[in-house]
Amino acid sequence: MFESLTEKLQNAFKRLTGKGALTEKDVEEALREVRLVLLEADVNFRVVKDFVARVKERAVGQEVLSSLSPGQQVIKIVHEELVGLLGGEQAKLSTAQKPPTVIMLAGLHGSGKTTTAAKLAHSLKKQGNNPLLVAADVYRPAAVKQLETLGAQLGVKVFAMGDKQDGVAVCKAAMAAADSGGHDYVILDVAGRLHIDDEMMDELKRIRAAVPITEALLVVDAMTGQDAVNVAKAFDDAVGIDGVIMTKLDSDARGGAALSIKSVTGKPIKFAGTSEKLEGLEPFHPDRMASRILGMGDVLSLIEKAEAAVSEETAKALEKKLRENQFGFDDYLDQLQEIRKMGPLDQILSMIPGLGQAKQVQGIEVDDHDVARVEAIIRSMTREERREPAIISGSRRRRIAAGSGTSVQDVNRLLKQFDEMRKIMRQMAEMEESGRRGRRITDFRL
């Protein structure tokens, strides 16, 4: 995500942070580079011009240039201005005063609108809601069937009337079904087109007139850059939108659309598509995204992902096994699978401050294929070997390598890494337990 932008911005700021004192000329040279970087990232020209002007006005002040760490001060200003550029505060979904909350998803063909509707329903269901998906895209071949298939996968009800009906009639009938079915959210997957035309806009206007829309969200593809911004402006001018869902943000190395859309349209990004999986839709946090763009990590999102993937009971059971030295390869495999639920490894590592765009961390390649290889090796072990790795002799290593389609060197490397990891984790568990005992003793003395 924004890999190219992040790398170039970090390079632009290296000179600033390496200097003990800054002059106005130093700041201007750095901002000239930032301007070029943002333009190369396909950020709207006017947005770049205003952004650089605001940063310069704040950064050349005497308070910054005479501070102990002026380079860090400038980066702090850039971060704050980036947050503003991305929308400032998080823009949450509006909810209807009286259920159901009706969300209309509009967009062009290829933007990922139907899949996004399913992802949004999945997210709402996880929060304890009862969403209804409405297949109102009656013109695109197989659109209705696609939504029905996704709904079945998620266990979410889909309202459909076939692909020969009028989209407005489908939406009106869906409202009655929502009332009788006790649905608190209705997600309308309305018709798109290959390009913006009067016919599509007319239907959207008629749906808005026929159904009490709470939120009209436009789904745009981040990879299309300024085209996504132009589409958003056209939709807002024609029918009015309340926000944007940006898909394929995980694949966008430049970031031009995300950085331009709020300034150009005045409409916030509310959600971001971060993977092809049905779990791959996240609320958009401008402050967290700005931190990731500048290579500062995103600890809050990482914690949220971990909490969603690992239950408190699982964490306590793992801690107990570590303290009692009972952590084996079965537990290791469980932990790998839990981590994989959090998303691609390179995305997870990019959320850790300091690692930024690192492709390699302490000699460990950031590659999901390596994780699959590790899983294959562990699954080729017997139950006894997983429980007691110390018994894995040379002949057993050759058998495991043959069974997993790997080499003996791969097996040896995994065994060594596992042994070192188990020692470190045991030490951490002992230190934590020691800290608890210390706290209890202190409390007792007090």
Distance CA 74, CA 78 (A): 6
Lowest mean pLDDT among 5-14, 96-105, 209-218, 313-322: 313-322
Q: What pLDDT, in 10s, does the model give residues 382-394?
A: 989 988 888 999 9
Q: Give pLDDT tens digits for 291-315.
A: 878 776 544 555 555 555 555 566 6
Instruction: Return mean pLDDT, the chain.
Output: 80
pLDDT digits (tens, 9 = 90+) for 230-264: 899 989 998 899 999 999 887 776 778 888 899 88
Q: End-to-end CA distance of the chain, in Å?
A: 51
Mean pLDDT score, 12-29: 76
**Which of 73 and 236 is assigned the larger pLDDT?**
236
- Find the mean pLDDT for residues 372-381: 89
**Strands 158-159, 131-136: pairing kind:** parallel
**Adjacent-strand bridge partners of 365:** 360
Provide the pLDDT for residue 366. Answer: 47
CB contact burial 113-127 (16+ within 10 A = b; e otherwise): bbbbbbbbbbbbeee
Compute φ and ψ for 212, nearest 5 degrees: -75, 85
Is it the case that residue 348 has pLDDT exceeding 70? no
- Is the pTM higher than 0.75? The answer reads no
Contact present, 242 and 339 (Cβ < 8 Å):
no
Phi first, then psi: give them for residue 16, nearest 5 degrees. Answer: -65, -45
pLDDT on residue 330 = 80
Predicted confidence at residue 329, as pLDDT, reads 83
Query: For residue 69, is pLDDT > 80?
Result: no
pLDDT in tens, 118-136: 999 999 999 999 999 999 9
Strand partners for 104: 188, 216
Could you tell me the domains of the chain?
3-85 (1.20.120.140), 101-293 (3.40.50.300), 303-445 (1.10.260.30)
**pLDDT at residue 56 above 90?**
no
Is 345's pLDDT higher than 70? no
Q: What is the CA radius of gyration of the chain?
A: 26
Give the tokens for residue 187: 């997600």
Residue 164 CA neighbour count, 13 Å, CB half: 0
Is residue 215 within 8 Å of 241, Cβ to Cβ?
no
pLDDT score at 318? 61
